Amino acid sequence: MANKGPAYGLSREVQSKIDKKYDPELEDRLVQWIIAQCGDSVGKPQPGKQGFQQWLKDGCVLCELINSLAKDSKPVKKIQSSSMAFKQMEQISQFLGAAERYGVTKSDMFQTVDLWEGKDLAAVQMTLLSLGSLAVTKDDGCYRGDPSWFHKKSQENKREFSDEQLKEGQSVIGLQMGTNKGASQAGMTGYGRPRQILNNQ
């Protein structure tokens, strides 16, 4: 982790809330998947949040992961282990760019500092979870591991209607508007006696 002093007050409260979102069970599943996807060469982290962060911090494992999901050309051309902070952060950024091109939405992406400084490892988990779900959904033969580790993303279900069907739909009153079925004035009587205007002269 970066050499930062302890957080106090509101910063500490916020950090503690973020830390609570981290899921150790999900960590196990993600580690299993990354090793199955990339092979044993990526090693295995020490159990726990800090071990998970140290394992992914230099960006090499993440870049290996995104490359293993590509069919033809590798999205990250050069993967180099380095102890220099800016090199490590650059590799994390390359992974994030490649993951976005793969189809992970911006809202599911973590920021480089979330991983590098260990600020929000739950966000890192969410990005990897989203990437795994996409890989299972694409079903292009690149995914390795147990498909039940991730949920399939919902697919577009496009429907084509003819002009005739569209015209028919215009004459139907949707039930959310209420219904006029069974409404009639049968059996209605007058509303009592008419107003009496008396001329007392």
Phi, psi for residue 168 in degrees, rounded to 5: -60, -40
- C-alpha atoms less than 13 angstroms from C-alpha of 76 in its C-beta half-sphere: 26
Determine the 3-state secondary structure of 78 from DSSP: coil
Q: What is the C-alpha to C-alpha distance for residues 82 and 145, in angstroms, rounded to an integer?
A: 29
Q: What is the largest CA-CA distance in the chain?
A: 114
pLDDT at 65: 92
Amino acid at 18: I
pLDDT at 156: 60
pLDDT at 192: 65
Q: What is the C-alpha to C-alpha distance for residues 124 and 26, in angstroms, rounded to an integer?
A: 11
pLDDT at 22: 82
Element (H, E) at 197: none
pLDDT at 1: 47
pLDDT at 63: 92
Digitized pLDDT (tens) for each residue of the chain, 201 residues in all: 455 555 556 666 766 776 678 888 888 999 999 999 998 888 888 888 889 999 999 999 999 999 999 888 888 888 888 888 889 999 999 999 999 999 999 989 999 998 888 888 889 999 999 999 998 888 888 888 888 888 877 656 667 777 777 777 777 666 666 666 666 666 666 666 666 677 766
pLDDT at 76: 86
Q: What is the C-alpha to C-alpha distance for residues 27 and 178, in angstroms, rounded to an integer?
A: 50
Structure token digits, residue 30: 């993600």
Structure token digits, residue 3: 């050499």
Residue count of the chain: 201
Angle between helices 49-56 and 121-138 (to 10 degrees): 60
